[in-house]
Amino acid sequence: MEHWVPMHGEPRETDNALAAWGVPPDARWLAFDTETTGLSGGTGTRAFMIGAAEMDGDRLWIRQWLITTLAAEADLLKAFAACLTPDTWLVSYNGRCYDAPLLVTRYRLARQVNPLAGLPHLDLLHPVRRRWRGVWPNCRLATAERELLGVVREDDLPGSEAPGAWRRYLQGGSSKDLRRVLDHNAQDVRSLAGILGCAPTAFCTPVESKRTQLMACAEVLMCL
């Protein structure tokens, strides 16, 4: 599935703003998120859906890949790999600890070249957690998008229910909840692009000292 959506209203000078973090002005950002067959990780967990979003002027190009048979996993991995180029900068939310390692494992088991190897990866969870821990109730993506972008999800299917929705569909059940998983995944990658557009101005407020700002920027660079 692919479609174009308007940006959330975030600043369009994203690349210029991120230059303060050492990001080149011509960086090609790709926000990604996976929906998996389980939440614990490990070799038995697969990604049955991958979503990706790229900035295209004042719009986002969102692509999503979904498999309905386990045999299709190899094609899913190839399709996502085709989106990545040597100048791609990955953007995720907790992706360095979960999504990326899971995909690396799946590429290895499928005996395919790992396309994520060597690509810089900005995990937005870390700067968000450093800046708003103790200020917000939590630093989940849903909280960050609500506080920074004004996004309040309606009829959102929690990520923890995604594996069950996929299995029920494979067993001949309704596609209603699986469509909600698609909507959830699309909103995830859309919000990632929005939060990226808020940086670094939202992460370094005028009341913070120069030393605090430099510490925040250094922590982000450690995530690349």
* Contact partners, residue 94, CB within 8 Å, separation at least 6: 123, 125
Global confidence as pTM:
0.85
- The CATH number that applies at residue 38 is 3.30.420.10
Domain count, the chain: 1
Backbone phi and psi for residue 170, each to the nearest 5 degrees, phi listed first: -65, -30
User: For residue 208, what pLDDT is reported?
Assistant: 43
Question: What residue numbers bound the domain in which 77 lies?
Answer: 2-222
pLDDT tens digits, 10-69 = 444 454 556 666 677 677 899 999 999 987 666 789 999 999 999 877 789 999 999 999
